[in-house]
Amino acid sequence: MNFLKTAAAAATLALIASTSNAEGTRIGAGISMFGPTVEAQSRLGNAITVRGTYSGYGASGSQTIDGIDYTLGGRMGGLSAMFNYHMPGGFRVGAGFFKSTSSVTGTTSFEAGDEVGGFTLPGSASFEGTTTFARTYAPMTTVGLDIPIFGDLVLSTDAGMVFNGGYTVDFTQTSGDAIPGSNLTSAEQNLEDQLSNYKVFPYVSMMVGMWF
């Protein structure tokens, strides 16, 4: 139900953004790097459109970072709002913002004698860390191609980048003897440093839509 409500909100935002002399609206659905995606797009003129999308899906897995094994679970997704400039041949370029709803939680355990943020554990302990995009609203750019299928039905593809600015990590100790807060902060910073090279998230999508 939350998915449907948010998808409807994204579509409504795109429609509201259209002006009184808008020449059409496109509704579509497909897949992107952030999962199943719905879109609404409105013309502002012959070459300009405004577009809103919503994506989201749950994910799980495992990852080793800096020699530490994490069991991962969470959600990928977000909302985007973009202006597109359309060129001959169906090509277009776009720019706007992406509001991430992605949040990945990892759990891991340490044994006595292991170090966490410079603190040596006296016994075993478990931790939970949540990772999100560093930027709440991340600039986004794309290049795309619209391919007519028949009538007003269109296949569209996009490739681009979301400039997320890195990642924010929040650690919580879930079991074992409590470690000092400063060491927990140091552990968060260490993981953020490991992720500091990933300041751009790739974006690829394929959608089918219809103009009304």
Number of H helices, E strands in the chain: 2, 13
- Give per-residue burial for 21-35: e unless 16+ CB within 10 Å, then b: eeeebbebebebbbb
What CA–CA distance (Å, rounded) separates 147 from 30?
Answer: 14
Model confidence over 155-165: pLDDT tens digits? Answer: 999 999 999 99
pLDDT < 50: residue spans in the chain: 1, 3-5, 7-8, 11-12, 14-22
> Which pLDDT score, from 0 to 100, does residue 142 have?
97
Q: What 3-state DSSP class applies to 196?
A: coil
> Which pLDDT score, from 0 to 100, does residue 97 have?
96
> Which pLDDT score, from 0 to 100, does residue 11 have?
47
> Which pLDDT score, from 0 to 100, does residue 23 have?
52
Model confidence over 56-99: pLDDT tens digits? Answer: 998 788 877 767 777 888 888 999 999 999 999 999 999 999 99
| Phi–psi pair at 175, nearest 5 degrees | -160, 165
Which residues, 6 or more positions from 165, have their beta carbon under 8 angstroms from its beta carbon? 133, 134, 135, 138, 199
Burial class (CB in 10 A: 0-12, 13-18, 19+), 52: buried
Domains, the chain, ordered by start: 2-211 (2.40.160.170)
> Which pLDDT score, from 0 to 100, does residue 17 have?
43
